[in-house]
Amino acid sequence: EIVDFNMFLNRIIDRFEMTHKDDVDFVRNIPDTAIFTEIAMDKVGQVLDNVISNAIKYSNSENKRVEFHVKQNRLYNRMTVQIKDNGLGIPGSKVDRIFERFYRVDKGRARKMGGTGLGLAISKEIIEAHDGRIWANSVENEGTTIFINLPCETLEEDVWDV
Ligand code: ATP
Ligand code: MG
């Protein structure tokens, strides 16, 4: 389906906001204008659910914050969404491994939290099936940012206002 990614993301954040009224601050840096993209909403919704759940789950902070940034690159018909948390972070040597099946940074902690360690491996498959890319930046004890880059459409009228 072709959807306005910004509206799609806002709906998902609204849902998280309802269940985390008191413990998480959601900061939205999302353009008011639409970014149209052709995605399987259920699949990409699953990716965002996992990434946002991770951002909330892997944090001891008293003031949990999850920040969203959406940017369109019109020249290349691509868009990037960043989901940034102020949680536990991940040691540098392990950042790239979080996209492997069953990989978990802290086995003991992970066992207590439940889950399977498949969330990001599945997310990567889904994003790559959309001709997209997903990667992470992280600083231990500071937080993690997940980047998702996807193709998007440029409206015909936009072509003329370069
Ligand atoms: P599942 O998603 O299957 O319920 P999971 O959350 O453990 O389980 P992934 O979502 O694939 O699995 O994440 C893999 C591992 O990467 C996590 O166990 C955690 O160690 C680390 N990780 C993922 N996101 C973050 C984050 N935002 N901050 C810190 N660590 C993270
Ligand atoms: Mg997960």
C-alpha 48 to ligand 1 mean position (Å): 13
Residues 6+ apart with CB under 8 A from 8: 39, 41, 44, 45
Q: Which residue has the tokens 């439940």?
A: 114
**pTM of the predicted model as reported, rounded to 2 decimal places:** 0.94
User: What are the pLDDT tens digits along the chain (162 aa)?
Assistant: 999 999 999 999 999 999 999 999 999 999 999 999 999 999 999 999 999 999 999 998 989 999 999 999 989 999 999 999 999 999 999 999 999 999 999 877 666 777 789 999 999 999 999 999 999 999 999 999 999 999 999 866 655 655
- Residue 136 Cα to ligand 2 middle (Å): 14
Contact 96, 68 (CB under 8 A): no
Report pLDDT digits (tens) over 78-97: 999 999 999 999 999 999 99
Q: Which two tokens stand for residue 6?
A: 């910004």
ipTM more than 0.90? yes
Cβ atoms of residues 54 and 119 within 8 Å: yes
CB-based pocket (< 6 A), ligand 1: 50, 54-55, 58, 85, 87-88, 90, 98, 103-106, 110, 115-121, 144
